[in-house]
Amino acid sequence: MVRPKFYRNTKINVLKIFRFLKKCEEEDKGHVTVGEIARATGLHKWIVSRTVDLWMQGVVDVVIPEELENVGIKLKLIKLKSPDITEAQVLRGLLIKNTEL
């Protein structure tokens, strides 16, 4: 039996984050912070940040303002790349990413 190479809750976490970002896209919120996503989904900030970095690269745009980083503030702004992305496409991308590892 081949075991998946991601954590047990990765798929659930990706979907929670995706659904929140989709809702933000529908409300024209623009970019949201890791903290906002964490509060809305009930996940820890570290989990949100790591999940976005490792598993959602093809789905989201991540902006890290250089001006703030120069003064010691690490802020990650996240937005869906396309408002037309579906959950099925996100899950398919997750499976493809998993087979690459």
Residue range 32-79, pLDDT digits in tens: 999 999 999 999 999 999 999 999 988 999 999 988 888 888 899 999
For the beta sheet containing 77-80, the strands, ordered from the edge strand earlier in sequence to the opposite edge, are 32-33, 77-80, 60-63
Which is higher by pLDDT, 98 or 90?
A: 90
As a whole number of angstroms, the distance between CA 99 and CA 82 comes to 24
Is-contact 63 73, C-beta < 8 A?
no
Which residue, 22, 94, 20, is CA-closest to 34? 20
3-state helix, strand, coil in the chain (%, to 5): 55, 10, 35
Domains of the chain: 10-93 (1.10.10)
For 11-32, the pLDDT digits (tens) are 999 999 999 999 999 999 999 9
pLDDT at residue 5 tops 70: no
Provide the pLDDT for residue 1. 47
